[in-house]
Each structure stands twice: as structure tokens, then as C-alpha cells.
Amino acid sequence: MAETHCPYCALQCAMTLDGAQVTPREFPTNRGGLCQKGWTSGALLTSPVRLTTPLVHGRPASWDTALDFVAGQIERIQREHGRDGMAIFGGGGLTNEKAYALGKFARVALRTSQIDYNGRFCMSSAAAAGNKAFGVDRGLPFPVADLGDADLILLVGANPAETMPPFMQHIKAGLVVVDPRRTATAERATLHLRPAPGTDLALALGILHSAFSEGYAEHDYIECRTQGFQDAWRIAAAWWPERVERVTGVSATDQRAVARMLAEAKNAYILTARGTEQHASGTDTVSAWINLALALGLPGKPGSGYGCLTGQGNGQGGREHGQKADQLPGYRRIDDPAARAHVGKVWGVDPSSLPGPGRSAYELLDALGRPQGPKGLLVFGSNPVVSAPRATHVTERLQALDLLVVADFVPNETTALADVVLPVTQWAEEEGTLTNLEGRVLHRRPALQPPSGVRSDLEVLRELAIRLGTPAKMFPTIAEEVFDELAKASEGGIADYSGITYARLRDGEALHWPVPDRRHPGTPRLFTDRFGHPDGRARFVPVDHKGPAEPPDDDFPLMATTGRVLAHYQSGAQTRRIDELVAAVPESYVEVHPDTAGLAGLADGDMAEIESRRGKVSARVRYVASMRPDTVFLPFHFPGENSANRLTNPALDPTSRMPEFKVCAVRLLHGGME
Ligand SMILES: Nc1nc2c(c(=O)[nH]1)N[C@H]1C(S)=C(S)[C@@H](COP(=O)(O)OP(=O)(O)OC[C@H]3O[C@@H](n4cnc5c(=O)[nH]c(N)nc54)[C@H](O)[C@@H]3O)O[C@H]1N2
Ligand SMILES: Nc1nc2c(c(=O)[nH]1)N[C@H]1C(S)=C(S)[C@@H](COP(=O)(O)OP(=O)(O)OC[C@H]3O[C@@H](n4cnc5c(=O)[nH]c(N)nc54)[C@H](O)[C@@H]3O)O[C@H]1N2
Ligand code: SF4
Ligand SMILES: [Mo]
């Protein structure tokens, strides 16, 4: 029996594993609850699809053969194309230890600048906006359980009733949901605002406009705790509610009602997620919601606040320890000389040998195999063939590589293209830490022995590093040793883990970073006295509405938006292997208003073809009377002909480099493939 946490999302529900048998465990985030994915997560531990033998060009090989081959190819590629000829793509599901080791492997063993990860597709816009406003990016700067005392919660672009079901227990009071679709979460709301996809920024400006004009702004707070209100207000002043109604479709009355509800609540929270962020103007959109929260005096006020729901199991920790292109451990910047000096010392390397910032996730995938781009790629913890935007193009770029190596424990659409597949241990077979959506560092204990033949990601990195001539001691394989080094590397950084030890975590201490020394109790609530900027004040960021990068037109008259369903996780690599989840949602579908479907001659249950400028997909029509007639929705969990990402637009946010997963122009046709 081992006390552990779920392998999937950032809520990190606590569970006990007895062999592969899951039982929920009491914990502040899940209070004894689990969703269907958590309940069934044990199934993959005993699944016959499990990868247990390295594959080289599709044929079983010994570990030595596979690793020698990979190391030999890396050396050849770097000799011919330079250090940046090799690239790494990581994931926000990796433990802190793995994310740290991967970043170190890139900078020290490969000495490449070309490393990024799927978190760029996930939360990078909220991270960028949080850094601008608060000088710190921690998803929720307060414990989840605090939400229980609020009178009002405004949830923007988030569907936790499907994406984190046990989270809904914390919402006890008034709930306002902003989502173009009437989701399971919106069903629970006191008020549901249904803006057109990609128009949230205008909506936030409209609500700020109402709040200020009606006299709800917290002038003392604005004066004492913030900077820059006037510049932000100058833009919002031009967005009176009737103008916003024309752009968003949300009535002026509803905008005013939300402003009033927020102002009248004694304690209120504004929370955002991917619906707000996955846009070419996602950073500005999050800034607009933060501006509203600041004008109402919420961030840092006890019992109130702004937060962003992180997504992947280690969505938070995964972006703190150096697998991001511009980053070193401790949430340090790779272009900061002091950060390079500190981390260089911990690693025992000359800081000048550390590469600079590399390409962001989509830019990296897009550059693969091109004359100036990487020729080899190592993937740990992602399935970009299904999850990257403009997926057909990304697939072609992966095929253009000289060397594609994927470490995974199940075969997926990306391992199918790989020259070398390395079978690794999965969550319950190894030890490690993750940082959940509230910045709390959690310890996962090993519950069962891995099958023979598999190795851990940490062992793979060490074996490759040795073959590339790096001293073995630089890449320990015991998670606790890696953590202790990570803690040192993070010391003095924004995400300071230096006071955290495995012993403290095993004792069950609730350690929310920063934890700057061993006696420090952790920081469950940030911003109560000051924000992270040197002057302690939060910043309003002046932002204006731009709208989607690809608005609908005569050829592609509808907007497609994409997201999640309860039963499947991400690219589906894990959940499409679990019978109970496949039975719940066996295939892709498209949610469409009956009138819109009718115009295309499509009945409920027909196969439709959905086409954008980048490609075509098939999906079964679901009549949903509450859909906006101008919008269709597809889940992105399915591959091949059903992959929503064959449609999506890789237009990138200029700051976060996040692609616009949440809106592209499409047309709906009869006759998709069954
Ligand atoms: N079941 C399940 N749970 C998961 C995951 C999973 O794959 N499956 N993945 C995990 C991960 S990594 C993440 S990031 C989280 C994501 O969690 P969420 O952000 O809750 O999930 P999404 O479905 O991507 O998007 C949320 C909502 O945004 C809406 N939306 C689309 N366009 C817009 C827009 O322009 N404005 C607004 N306001 N809303 C819009 C969609 O209709 C959708 O209902 O879930 C985590 N939990
Ligand atoms: N259209 C559209 N596309 C999207 C989104 C959307 O809303 N719409 N959301 C985006 C978001 S928020 C995200 S987070 C991405 C996620 O999409 P992906 O990055 O593809 O994430 P997963 O499907 O979780 O892929 C994880 C793979 O890594 C493996 N894996 C899990 N843990 C480990 C480990 O510890 N080590 C190793 N080596 N492998 C491991 C799993 O078996 C699986 O094959 O998708 C993005 N794509
Ligand atoms: S809500 Fe998230 S962490 Fe909890 S059981 Fe479901 S997938 Fe796992
Ligand atoms: Mo995500």
C-alpha cells in the first residue's frame, strides 16, 4: 500500500494504491473525491499495451544497443550541425526531478539552447500575465480550500466540472461562468455569460468599465497597492457596455450585473483557465481579467483573489525548473547573468558554457528538419502529433528529422514516428515530487515494481549523458538526490524550494513555495502584504481588444473552439487505452447548434467533415441547442482523421508564444468518414 497522487491533472487528488487498486484518500484539494479518470488510473499499470522493450526502427533492441545508437546519432548530428542541431521537447506531467534533469541535460550534456515543452501550449499566457502584474507566477496564490469561504467566484474559460470534478466541492457560493458553451460547469452557475470565442478581452474591459462608472472601484487599494491604473482605465473608458455587447454578444445588462455582484460580494475570486489563455492575444486577455481584479481590490485581500487553474499534474513545477526555453531552475531567466552564475556553480560548469534562450514549443516543432533547425529531437512526456496546433504540418516536420527519440510507457501517435522508442517507468513505479495548482509540493511514493525491461527517465538521461562524455555523478538517478540538487539550484530564485526536503514532504507538511529555509513553514498565501515587484506593488497592464487572429469569413463562416471532456486526458495516449473511458466517450464528435447543422444538411448523429485552411477532420454531429450558432466545439483527445488539431491555427501570442487553440475559422460539410 502506498499513499500517492493521481497521475493526471493539477488537482493531484490523493489516493492510496494497493498494487494497481485505487482508493481515494482525504486531502485538502480533493476531500476524498476522485474523477472517473482517477478511479480508473490503475488500469494502465497492468495494461498489456505497456512498452517494455526499447525499439530501434520498430525492432526490439537491448538497452545498450538503443542507447549507443542514440548517443552515436546525437554526436554525429552535433558534429555536422552544431550543438543546436539537437533539441528536446518535455512535458508538464514530468515530476520536478525529471523536469530539472531534462533542463540540465539539455544545457550541460547536449549544450543546446533548443529545449521547450508542452506547458507552452497550456498556461504560458497566464504565467506571462501573472509575472507582469504580480512579479510572480504561481497558479493559485492561495490554497484551493480558501475558495470555500467566498460569496462569489467568477470562472473565465474554465470547465472544472469536467476538467477537475472534485474541485467543484470548493465552490459553495455564487458562481458566474464565462464560456461560449453551456458546459457542465455553466449549468451550475448563477449566471452564465456566453461570449463569442476570442472576445473575452473586450468583455473584461466592459465589466471594468461598468465597475468603475458605477463607483465600485477600490480607490484606496489602487492608490496603495498598485501602479498604472490610469493607463489601463483610458482604454477601458472607450469600452462602454453597449459597445462590448456588439463585439461579444454578452448583454450590457449582464456585464453590469457581474460588476455589481463582484463589488457586493464580501469575498470574491476571479479564476481563469485555457479558454481565456489559448489565444494569440492570451496574455493581454489574462491581463484584462487581472486589471478587473485589481480595480476591485481582490488580489492579496484575505479571502479574495485572482488565480489561474494550472492543468497538467506538474503544470506548476514543470515551468519552474528549467525545461522552458528561456529558463533556469528556481524560475530564473537564462539570460540573467546572476542566474547563470548561481546555476553554473551548482552544476559545476562555467556559466559562459550555458546556452542562451531557445525557440518556443511551436516554433521549435516548426523548425525541425529545416536547414537552420534541429535535426534530432528527444521527446519526454508529450504526444505532439495529436496535441500540437496545425498537427499535419507538425507531423511532417517530425518526419523530416534525422533522429526522433521518444521515451514513453505506452505507444502513441508520436512513438509511431520515432526512430527509437525508450520504455520508461510510470508514476506509481517511481518516486518524485509535483507542484500542484496551489503551489504545494507533493510527494508521490512508489507503489509497485516496474515490469522488467523498463528504466526510469532519470536513468535514461544519465546513461545518455555518460555516453556523451559527461561525468556520471552529474546525473543521479535517485529522485531524492535530484531533488536536493534542485533545491540548491532554486535557492534565492522566485520559486525557492531550498527549504524543502523529502523528509518534510514524507511527514505530510503542506509546503507551498517559496520555502527559503528548512524551518520556513512555506507560503500558502502570497501577496497578503506585498506583490513580487521590487516596490511591492502590483501593475495594471494597459491592454486593448484585438479579436481572433483568423476571424470567420465567407469561405470559413464558423468558429471552431476546442477543449476537453471528462473521460479523456489530453492527447488521449493514456485514456484511449482504458476500456471504461473508451466506453464512456468512444469517438470524437462536434457540438453544433441544430440550425447550423441543419444548414449543412446534417442530422444529429451524422458524420460531418469540418474544414479549416489547414486541414479537414471527421466527427460525429451532436446537436446542442445551447451552442452559439456561429461556433462549433471539438474535443482534441482523438488522433488521425478525428484530430481537432488538424484544424487549429498556430498564430502565436507575442509574449507567451502560446498558440491560438481556442478559435479558428472553419466550415461544416456533410460526409465525414465513418
Ligand atoms: N478531463 C480532462 N481533465 C483535464 C485535462 C484533460 O485533458 N481532460 N487536461 C488538464 C489540463 S493539461 C488542462 S490545461 C486543464 C484545462 O482545463 P479547462 O481550461 O477547464 O479546459 P478546456 O476544455 O481546455 O477549456 C475550458 C473552456 O474554455 C471554453 N472556451 C473556448 N473558447 C473560449 C473563449 O474564447 N473564452 C472563454 N471564456 N472560454 C472559452 C471552452 O468552451 C471550454 O469549456 O484541464 C486539466 N484537466
Ligand atoms: N486543440 C487543442 N489542443 C491542445 C489543447 C487544447 O485545449 N486544444 N490543450 C493543450 C494543453 S493545455 C496541453 S497541456 C497539451 C497536452 O498534450 P500532450 O503534450 O500531448 O500531453 P499528453 O497527452 O498528456 O502526453 C503525454 C505523453 O507522455 C507520456 N508520459 C506521461 N508521463 C510521462 C513521464 O513521466 N515520462 C515520460 N517519458 N512520458 C510520460 C504519456 O504516456 C503520453 O504519451 O495539449 C495542448 N493541445
Ligand atoms: S480531478 Fe484530476 S487529479 Fe483528480 S482524479 Fe481527476 S484527473 Fe486525477
Ligand atoms: Mo494543459
Q: Is 13 in the pocket of ligand 3 (CB under 6 A)?
A: yes
**Same-domain pairing of 276 and 147:** yes
Q: How far is the CA of 12 from the centre of ligand 1 (A)?
A: 17
Any alpha helices (H) in 557-667, and if so which ranges?
579-584, 594-599
**Same-domain pairing of 278 and 305:** yes
pLDDT of amino acid 173: 86
- For the stretch 121-176, pLDDT in tens is 999 999 999 999 999 999 999 999 999 999 999 999 999 999 999 999 999 989 99
Q: How far is the CA of 197 from the centre of ligand 2 (A)?
A: 23
Q: Is 178 in the pocket of ligand 1 (CB under 6 A)?
A: yes
Nearest to 525 by CA among 192, 154, 149, 151: 149
Nearest-angstrom CA–CA distance, 145 and 510:
13
Query: In 10 A of CB 671, how many CB atoms?
Result: 13
Q: How far is the CA of 38 from the centre of ligand 3 (A)?
A: 5
Q: What is the 3-state secondary structure (H, E, C) of 529-572?
A: CCCCCCCCCEECCCCCCCCCCCCCCCCCCEEEEEECCCCCCCCC
**Same-domain pairing of 141 and 285:** yes
Determine, yes or no, domain membership for 140.
yes
**Same-domain pairing of 242 and 254:** yes
Q: Which domain holds residue 564?
A: 558-670
CB-based contact 629:593 (threshold 8 Å): yes
Determine, yes or no, domain membership for 565.
yes
- For the stretch 371-411, pLDDT in tens is 999 999 999 999 999 999 999 999 999 999 999 999 999 99
Determine, yes or no, domain membership for 498.
no
Determine, yes or no, domain membership for 543.
no
Q: How far is the CA of 566 from the centre of ligand 3 (A)?
A: 10
- For the stretch 583-592, pLDDT in tens is 999 999 999 9
473's CB contacts (< 8 A; 6+ apart) are none
Beta-sheet strands, E only, within 273-425: 305-308, 327-328, 332-333, 376-380, 403-408, 420-423
Nearest-angstrom CA–CA distance, 643 and 180:
21
Determine, yes or no, domain membership for 512.
no
**Same-domain pairing of 152 and 94:** no
Task: Give the mean pLDDT of the chain.
Answer: 97
Q: Is 387 in the pocket of ligand 1 (CB under 6 A)?
A: no
**Same-domain pairing of 302 and 155:** yes
Determine, yes or no, domain membership for 663.
yes
Nearest-angstrom CA–CA distance, 146 and 531:
19
pLDDT of amino acid 674: 58
Within 13 A of 91's CA, how many CA atoms are on the CB side? 22
Neighbours of ion ligand 4 (CB under 5 A): 122, 311
Indicate which residue's Cα is closest to atom 12 of ligand 2. 122
**Angle at which helices 337-347 and 479-490 pack, to 10 degrees?**
150
Cis peptide before 548 (omega within 30 of 0): no
- For the stretch 59-113, pLDDT in tens is 999 999 999 999 999 999 999 999 999 999 999 999 999 999 999 999 999 999 9
Indicate the DSSP class of residue 437: T
Query: In 10 A of CB 576, how many CB atoms?
Result: 20
Q: Which of 16, 34, 436 to mutate to test the pocket of ligand 3 (most atoms within 8 A of CB)?
A: 34
Question: What letter represents residue 272's amino acid?
Answer: T
Query: In 10 A of CB 149, how many CB atoms?
Result: 15
Cell of 302: 484575505
pLDDT for 673 beyond 70: no
CATH (domain of 12): 2.20.25.90
SS3 content of the chain, % helix, strand, coil (to 5): 35, 20, 45
CATH (domain of 109): 3.40.50.740
Count of domains for the chain = 4
Cell of 559: 468558429
The percentage of the chain sitting over the pLDDT mark of 90, rounded to a whole number, equals: 99
Nearest-angstrom CA–CA distance, 269 and 307:
8
Beta-strand relationship, 376-380 and 403-408: parallel
Q: Which of 255-267 are b and which e, b meaning 16 or more Cβ less than 10 Å from the residue's Cβ?
A: bbbbbebbbebeb
pLDDT for 672 beyond 90: no
CB-based contact 639:572 (threshold 8 Å): yes
pLDDT for 553 beyond 70: yes
**Same-domain pairing of 330 and 384:** yes
Q: For residue 159, which phi and psi values (nearest 5 degrees)?
A: -130, 60
Cell of 626: 445551447
**Same-domain pairing of 246 and 112:** no
Nearest-angstrom CA–CA distance, 137 and 127:
5
Q: How far is the CA of 353 from the centre of ligand 3 (A)?
A: 41
Residue ending a domain, among 309, 338, 370, is 309
**Same-domain pairing of 412 and 350:** yes
508's CB contacts (< 8 A; 6+ apart) are none
Residue ending a domain, among 450, 480, 510, is 480
Q: Which of 175, 179, 666 to mutate to test the pocket of ligand 1 (most atoms within 8 A of CB)?
A: 179
Q: What is the 3-state secondary structure (H, E, C) of 475-541?
A: CCCCHHHHHHHHHHHHCCCCCCCCCCCHHHHHCCCCCECCCCCCCCCCCCCCCCCCCCCCCCCEECC
Residue ending a domain, among 275, 309, 343, is 309
Determine, yes or no, domain membership for 523.
no
CATH (domain of 644): 2.40.40.20
Q: For residue 305, which phi and psi values (nearest 5 degrees)?
A: 165, 180
Across the strands, what pairs with 444? 432
Determine, yes or no, domain membership for 173.
yes
Q: How far is the CA of 642 from the centre of ligand 4 (A)?
A: 20
State pTM to two decimals: 0.98
- For the stretch 258-287, pLDDT in tens is 999 999 999 999 999 999 999 999 999 999
**Same-domain pairing of 387 and 459:** yes
Indicate the DSSP class of residue 338: H
Q: For residue 503, which phi and psi values (nearest 5 degrees)?
A: -60, -45
* Ligand showing the shortest atom-to-Cα distance for residue 42: 3
**Same-domain pairing of 297 and 164:** yes
Cell of 452: 522488467
Nearest-angstrom CA–CA distance, 671 and 172:
45
Q: How far is the CA of 86 from the centre of ligand 2 (A)?
A: 21
Q: What is the 3-state secondary structure (H, E, C) of 80-131?
A: HHCHHHEEEEECCCCCHHHHHHHHHHHHHHHCCCCEEEHHHHCCHHHHHHHH
Indicate which residue's Cα is closest to atom 22 of ligand 1. 563
Rounded to an integer, what is the distance from CA 357 to the centroid of its chain?
20
Judged on CB neighbours under 10 Å (0-12, 13-18, 19+), 639 is buried
pLDDT for 671 beyond 80: no
* pLDDT bucket at 194, cuts 50 / 70 / 90: very high
Nearest-angstrom CA–CA distance, 289 and 300:
15
Across the strands, what pairs with 665? 559
Please, what is the end-to-end C-alpha distance for the chain in angstroms?
A: 45
**Same-domain pairing of 293 and 352:** no
